Structures are given as structure tokens and as C-alpha cells.
């Protein structure tokens, strides 16, 4: 039984040990870029501050709109948790994949004895592990120090736990969205336009740019059901304790469903794309 499972894993190219090797490697490589890392932490601090002051200005101009839902403390907490989460799951595999297609470097990835999506997944996981410890946590510490009374702690240990579960699912969803975007490059070779479109969609539909409460009432339930909600809205609301009980479990189940669907879509898209690969530049 065990041997058959091993054979299946080997045939699919999904060996956990190979995945671990790539994850470790990706972690190591990130460690070798110190400057980029410090700049990254500073940038996230700016993202949160800019969004917070923008949103406060908007709300102060029109206080009755959503005031009860979004106090300054709510806003700071919302953006801090949202962007710290983004700092954790973010990767650029779509742009990298497009570069590899354009330069022909993809050839070198395709001679590795593991499935390409599995290699990318493992690398993204290694990168995210790095990002949790060396970006999200420091960023959160800086934000907590600067916005001390406003940035609230999680609503409770259970809430934090659910928020972290949601974050793990968010990593998978973001990975899948990026891989699918990157695979467009196999057909079109250049995807700069698609990258921008995806970036803006993720910013807008995840809630990291604008809380869903700002959107028209009819749009809110749909936004909460989209896979992008997992990338900001859901983990933040879980952290804040605004999503509890049955609603919390429903949100997580929905995220899990999207995760499974998108990962399956990745496997399918890859098996199709593989036949159409060309290697530019000899």
C-alpha cells in the first residue's frame, strides 16, 4: 500500500522530500539579500500608513457613511493585519515564470525531476516561511510600536488561530492565482498587462486597499464569497473577531473550497500548457 502511494507520488513528481529541498533553497536564497529585505519592511510600513491616512481622510469628510464600523482603531488594525498577511503570502512567481518563458530559462526548470507546479509551490512555501519570520512579524512589531494605542491585539486566541488557518489557505489561493497568471505567458510570451490587471484585481477584491464595508451594500456579500476575500478581508475579520461562530466556519470552508478548485485548475492548466511550451533563444 505504502509502496503504491510512493510510486504514484513519484509518477506525479510530487515528492515531499524534493519539495522540501526546493523550499529550503528558496529560504536560503532570500537570506542572501539583506538590503532588499530592509527596504521591503519599510515599504510595508508605508503601505499601511498611506492606506490608513487616506481612509481616515475619506471617512472624516463623510463621517456618517460607515463611521460606526470603522473607527480609527479599526482602520489601523484592519490595514496592519491585512498588509502583514500580504507580506507573508506574497510571491512573484507569475512575473518570474513570464521572465523564464521570455528568456528560455524555463528549459532549466523543466529538466528537474519534479513536476514544475510542485517546484514552484515548494519555492513559494519556502519564501513565505521566510516572509513570516523576517517580514510579517517585524512589520507588525514596527506598526505596533508606532500606532500603539490604536493597533488592537487579536480578539482572542481562538480568533487568532482561525485567522492563521485562513492565512494558510490564502497562501494557496494566492499561489494558484499567480501560477495561473504566469502560465498565460506560455501562450502570449509577454504578460505585463495581465500582471497589472491581476495586481489591481487582487488589491481591490481582497480588501487590502479598501475595506469591504466601503463598497455598495449589494456588492459586499459577493465580494466576501470571491476567492480574493481570503487574501485580506477574511483573515482580518477573523483576527478582529468580527467573523465568529458559524459565519467564521462558513468563510473558512469557502476558502478551502476555492483553494481546492484553484489548485486543481493549476494542475489542469499546466498539463495543457506543457504541450505548447517553446524555448526562446536556442
Least distance from other proteins to the Cβ atom of residue 270, Å: 12
HEC string of the chain equals: CHHHHHHHHHHHCCCHHHHHHHHHHHHHHHHCCHHHHHHHHHHHHHHHHHHHHHHHHHHHHCCCCCCCCCCHHHHHHHHHHHHHHHHHHCCCHHHHHHHHHHHCCHHHHHCCCCCHHHHHHHHHHHHHHHHHHHHHHHHHHHHHHHCCCCCCCCCCHHHHHHHHHHHHHHHHHHHHHHHHHHHHHHHHCCCHHHHHHHHHHHHHHHCCCCCHHHCCCCCHHHHHHCHHHHHCHHHHHHHHCCCCHHHHHHHHHHHHHHHHHHHHHHHHHHHHHHHHCCCCCC
Least distance from other proteins to the Cβ atom of residue 113, Å: 4
By CB under 8 A, residue 110 contacts other proteins: yes
By CB under 8 A, residue 20 contacts other proteins: yes
Q: Which residues contact 212 (CB under 8 A, 6 or more apart)?
A: 220, 223, 224, 229, 233
By CB under 8 A, residue 92 contacts other proteins: no
Rounded distance, CA 231 to CA 245, Å?
A: 20
Rounded distance, CA 125 to CA 263, Å?
A: 14
By CB under 8 A, residue 256 contacts other proteins: no
By CB under 8 A, residue 27 contacts other proteins: no
By CB under 8 A, residue 17 contacts other proteins: yes
* Of the candidate residues 6, 16, 28, 190, the single one contacting other proteins (CB under 8 A): 28
Least distance from other proteins to the Cβ atom of residue 126, Å: 12
Q: Which is nearer to other proteins, 46 or 187 (CB)?
A: 187
By CB under 8 A, residue 22 contacts other proteins: yes
By CB under 8 A, residue 231 contacts other proteins: no
Q: Which is nearer to other proteins, 18 or 230 (CB)?
A: 18
Least distance from other proteins to the Cβ atom of residue 197, Å: 19
Least distance from other proteins to the Cβ atom of residue 68, Å: 50
The size of the interface with other proteins (CB under 8 A), counted in residues, is: 33
By CB under 8 A, residue 282 contacts other proteins: yes
Least distance from other proteins to the Cβ atom of residue 106, Å: 8
By CB under 8 A, residue 277 contacts other proteins: yes
Least distance from other proteins to the Cβ atom of residue 117, Å: 13
Q: How far is CA 262 from CA 9, 86, 249, in A?
A: 20, 19, 20
By CB under 8 A, residue 107 contacts other proteins: yes
Q: Which is nearer to other proteins, 4 or 275 (CB)?
A: 275
Provide the binding-site residues for other proteins, judged by CB under 8 A. 10-13, 17-18, 20-22, 24-25, 28-29, 32-33, 104-105, 107-108, 110-115, 274-279, 281-282
Amino acid at each position: 500500500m505504502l509502496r503504491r502511494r510512493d510510486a504514484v507520488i513519484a509518477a506525479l513528481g510530487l515528492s515531499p522530500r524534493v519539495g522540501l529541498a526546493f523550499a529550503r533553497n528558496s529560504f536560503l536564497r532570500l537570506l542572501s539579500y539583506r538590503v532588499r529585505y530592509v527596504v521591503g519592511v519599510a515599504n510595508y510600513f508605508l503601505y499601511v500608513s498611506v492606506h490608513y491616512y487616506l481612509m481616515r481622510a475619506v471617512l472624516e469628510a463623510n463621517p456618517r457613511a460607515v463611521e460606526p464600523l470603522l473607527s480609527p482603531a479599526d482602520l489601523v488594525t484592519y490595514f496592519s493585519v491585512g498588509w502583514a498577511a500580504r507580506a507573508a503570502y506574497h510571491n512573484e512567481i507569475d512575473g518570474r515564470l513570464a521572465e523564464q518563458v521570455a528568456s528560455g530559462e524555463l528549459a532549466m526548470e523543466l529538466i528537474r525531476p519534479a513536476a514544475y507546479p510542485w517546484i514552484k509551490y515548494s519555492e513559494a512555501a519556502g519564501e513565505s516561511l521566510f516572509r513570516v519570520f523576517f517580514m510579517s512579524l517585524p512589520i507588525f512589531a514596527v506598526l505596533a510600536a508606532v500606532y500603539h494605542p490604536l493597533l488592537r491585539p487579536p480578539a482572542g486566541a481562538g480568533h487568532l488561530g482561525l485567522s492563521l488557518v485562513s492565512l494558510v489557505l490564502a497562501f494557496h489561493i494566492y499561489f494558484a492565482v499567480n501560477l495561473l497568471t504566469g502560465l498565460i505567458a506560455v501562450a502570449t510570451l509577454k504578460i505585463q498587462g495581465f500582471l497589472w490587471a491581476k495586481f489591481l484585481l487582487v488589491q481591490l477584491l481582497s480588501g487590502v486597499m479598501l475595506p469591504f464595508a466601503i463598497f455598495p451594500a449589494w456588492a459586499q456579500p459577493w465580494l466576501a464569497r470571491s476567492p480574493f476575500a481570503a487574501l485580506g478581508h477574511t483573515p482580518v475579520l477573523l483576527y478582529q473577531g468580527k467573523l465568529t461562530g458559524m459565519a467564521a466556519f462558513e468563510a473558512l470552508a469557502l476558502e478551502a473550497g476555492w483553494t481546492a478548485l484553484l489548485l486543481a485548475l493549476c494542475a489542469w492548466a499546466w498539463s495543457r500548457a506543457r504541450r505548447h511550451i517553446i524555448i526562446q533563444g536556442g
